[in-house]
Amino acid sequence: MKEQHYTLKEILASVFKEKNHLLTKRLIYNNAIFGGLDSRWIKLSFLILPFLMYAAIFNESVFKELGIAQAIVFYIILLVFAMQIIVGISYFNNKKVVKIASNAWKNYFPEIDFKMIISSGTTPYVDFKKHYAQALNEGLKDNDLTKRLHETFKQMEEENSIMIDAMRKEQKKKESK
């Protein structure tokens, strides 16, 4: 199977939304970039599903058979089940996107874990979105963007050297076990 080559912008567009050179993290990652399901379809199914369930249960023939109390209980139970399916699809979609994006990210920055870039917690690369937005404001593309981000990563690692050292020590402990 031939491995796809994705641009840095495509990789980041799968997990971040860009509007006016400001980045926000997506709640449901966009797998369409990698040939999968677009996040808009998951959102659409999340919005339409309650109405479809309502139409299926409260139509004239089914409602006549169930009665009001059973129809309401049946609707609530099926709605909970359907929402669990949508949440499961979202989870597996996000997991798949992170896996594909992480592999593609290694072509550009093999020493930096992609999960640290998209993490909401404290990482050495917590200012990545700010630096990436600045690079987009300057109109950098492809190689220039990659070079700028390499410099930015070095700068962030210098600023957070204590955290980097602690992470490396922890990694060595895990490898020695």
The residues spanned by each domain of the chain are: 1-108, 110-177
Identify which of 101, 83, 88 has the alpha carbon closest to the alpha carbon of residue 36: 101
CA distances from 73 to 53, 83, 102, 142 (A): 12, 15, 43, 55
Residue 81: how many CA atoms within 13 Å on its side-chain side? 7
Which pair of tokens denotes residue 27?
Answer: 């709640």
pTM: 0.81
Rounded CA-CA distance 134/147 in Å is 13
Output the pLDDT for position 121.
78
Which pair of tokens denotes residue 59?
Answer: 């139509």
CA distances from 19 to 13, 29, 85, 113, 123 (A): 11, 16, 30, 25, 24
pLDDT tens, per residue, the chain with 177 residues: 456 788 888 898 899 998 887 888 888 999 898 888 889 998 998 899 889 999 999 999 998 998 999 999 999 999 999 889 888 999 999 999 999 999 999 989 988 889 988 887 788 888 888 888 888 888 888 888 889 999 999 998 888 888 888 888 888 888 887
Output the pLDDT for position 1.
42
Which pair of tokens denotes residue 174?
Answer: 């895990």
